Copies of this chain bind each other. A is one copy, B any other.
Amino acid sequence: MNRPLLIALFAALSAGLPAGVLAQDAKPAVAARADDATPVLVSADQWRAMAAAGDRYPMFAAERARVEREVRAAMAAGVKVPQPRDLGGGVTHEQHKANYKAIAGAGALYRMTGDKAYADFARDLLLEYARLYPTLSDHPAGKSSVKGRLFWQALNDSVWLVYGAQGYDAIRDTLTVDQRRKIDDDVFRRMARFLSEENAPYFDRIHNHATWATAGVGMAGYVLRDQTLVERALKGTARDGKAGFLRQVDELFSPDGYYAEGPYYQRYALAPFIIFARAIQQNEPERQIFKRRDGVLLKAVDVVIQSSYAGLLFPINDAMPDKGLDSEEIVTGVAIAYAQTRDPRLLSIAQGQGRTLLSPDGLAVAQGVATGEARPFDFRSMQLGDGPNGDLGNLVFLRRGGATGQALVMKNTQQGQGHGHFDRLGWLFYDNGQPVVRDYGAARFLNVEAKGGGGYLDENDSWAMQTVAHNTLVVGQASQFGGDWHVGEERPTKPLFFKAGEGLQIASARLDKAYDGVVLTRTLAMVEHPDLTYPVVIDLFRADGAKPTNYDLPLHFNGHIIKAFEAEHSVRERPVLGQASGYQHLWVDAVAAPSDKARSLTWLLGKRFYTYRFGASAPTSALLVESGANDPSFNLRREPALIQRMQGQADASFFSVLEPHGAYDATAETVSGATSQIRDIARTRGEGAEVIVLTLASGAKLALGVADDVSPIAAHAVRIDGQAYEWTGPYARFDR
């Protein structure tokens, strides 16, 4: 979605008034007479307050100037409403996107300046759409299952409607009755009919694409004073509440505000939810939409911010790894949420975004920032329940050291629908401003037409979604759930425990139906110690299988290898690792023969070193690989990974520690702490529990005990070298 989309024109607060007051003075559109054409998405008073802001609030003034530049450029280029033809990135696609921005922007500028030229330009565009739109049938290009009329997929048509309705609302009272009827009928009613009645199954889905559709249809309903459209949007085509926007609010977010598809789509889905919710609040405040489900829509804004590191969203599931908090949708979410809550922590996020909306909400943000009310956002450790009832797994964040300190993500969620990856129990780790253990994200070049029209590439299925492309265990060289997301959607992960304690933060989860007859249990802990400069991550991954099989545990590390373990290197010819399930995309660089000794790998990323020490319960080989094989179109990025491989075992324990250390300063040409502060890692299996012991370079020992039985009252004892490790409950830390 595009920045200028968000000239978002809904209610909020003008300067100085407490939240919720102004919204009351907007007459509900549904109660107005059908021939009333005054604005309903932003009230006339709100427009006046925005006009009166002048240049007093820099963020608001900058946004106004930006929209002015953009709209004036569009006006200079003239009215262009081409016959639809192209895929995303193509000329007609980009022109229709530019047009809905221009309509919304021109409408806002007309209201704020009184300059009729803006209103006339929006009118001329809309009349041209009224001429074109009735002549259209399905878009000629692409392979979308639900084609649009203006765009290759109906999704973009819905977005057009959301923004077109806002611009139209702002200028509708400048039109003749004839013009208004023509645009009402031939643009907005036809689009609404196309998206809802003619594509009823699509409209009634519980899915973010349908949220854009319900938002567009509902906002058109408010503008046209058509309560039937509003009801259809809120309650589905049957108007029985089994579908529609309210049902989407109830089902697509967990009670904690987590969106089923993950952060990248949470960001995308946020826009129609929050934009339409704002329109509902403006026109039907009695619905208390922002209080629905204990305020889940506002929680969702907090969650999407928490789901980021150094400004970029955690790229789990289908996600572009360069998508960040400065995206249009999150700018919108932050502004609208701030106008509702006045939470000053949101203002620091707005400052980082560097812009806000040309809307009453954006005005509130700009005023808050200008008056110095911003406070730091509190990135914190948390677990977010997944599923409508919060009982379908969780997403865990363990954090330390603030916005660019350490962040560990553990993915114990549900599948995440069709955009979900087969990466349950996977983890990511961030440190010093960068991803250290990373996720490939989606195989896609967004809107780059030469790369599959800008959509998901074949390699998204063949590589990016596969289990081996993630930091979790692969059983029998196959992906979880046989690579079938519908199966995955039925089989939740079970969180075992979560505790963000002082010096020890820990989370554990179990997955027993990803592979037949194999129970997978992983425990990840972020541990601090006075002899270690930074927190380290201890990982214990157990597989309990019914019969001997092969286990591969990949680690997609980020950085340049400084020191690797002994291995045979493929230096003169580079083979491919496998045939399917993503293995066909891995080049083999080196293979170390099976050993029961712990190994280590050190790499350099930015200004810090990372040493990963790893061992397992049975002899394990270690492979260094790189993505990019079987990729004749150069669709994949080439990224390294380590794979620990154990063969012919039924049960397996993989244990490891990841340690950030040292400093590399290219400017000063100094290096310090390039050697790991950990000397050894060892694991001992006792009765119903295991203990991982780290021996530090200082001589200190740091141990973590993890029990099979997660009961808080079960007692455990493991003896190692004559020493007793005894504890009660699922885990314990020992310092010796």
Footprint of B on A, CB under 8 Å? 1-3, 89, 94, 97, 320, 322-324, 326-328, 445-451, 454, 560-564, 569, 571-576, 587, 589-590, 602, 604, 624, 626, 629-634, 637-638, 664, 666-672, 674
Contact = CB atoms under 8 A, between A and B. Distances in A.
A604 B454 CA distance: 14
B2 A447 contact: no
Q: A590, A624, A666, A672 — which one has the most chain B CB atoms within 10 A of its CB?
A: A666
B602 A450 contact: yes
B94 A560 contact: no
B572 A574 contact: no
A88 B263 CA distance: 44
Given A666-B322, A669-B2, A671-B448, A587 B574 contact: yes
The 7 closest A-B pairs by CB, nearest first: A561-B634, A569-B632, A574-B574, A447-B671, A322-B666, A89-B671, A3-B668
Nearest to A589: B634
A634 B626 CA distance: 12
Nearest to A670: B2
Q: A3, A571, A575, A669 — which one has the most chain B CB atoms within 10 A of its CB?
A: A669
Main secondary structure of the interface of A (DSSP, over half): loop
A685 B3 CA distance: 51
Given A590-B632, A634-B560, A671 B573 contact: no
Contact of A450 (B320, B449, B562, B668): B562
18 contacts: A1-B669, A2-B670, A97-B670, A320-B666, A323-B666, A324-B667, A446-B666, A449-B674, A571-B630, A571-B632, A572-B629, A572-B630, A573-B573, A573-B574, A573-B575, A573-B576, A574-B587, A590-B632
A162 to B, nearest CB: 16
A457 to B, nearest CB: 12
A670 B450 CA distance: 14
A305 to B, nearest CB: 16
A604 B562 CA distance: 29
A563 B632 contact: no
B576 A445 contact: no
A624 B454 CA distance: 24
Contacts of A449: 671, 674
A269 to B, nearest CB: 15
Given A94-B671, A448-B562, A448-B674, 14 more contacts: A2-B668, A2-B669, A89-B674, A94-B670, A324-B667, A327-B667, A447-B664, A447-B669, A451-B562, A454-B671, A560-B634, A573-B575, A574-B574, A574-B629
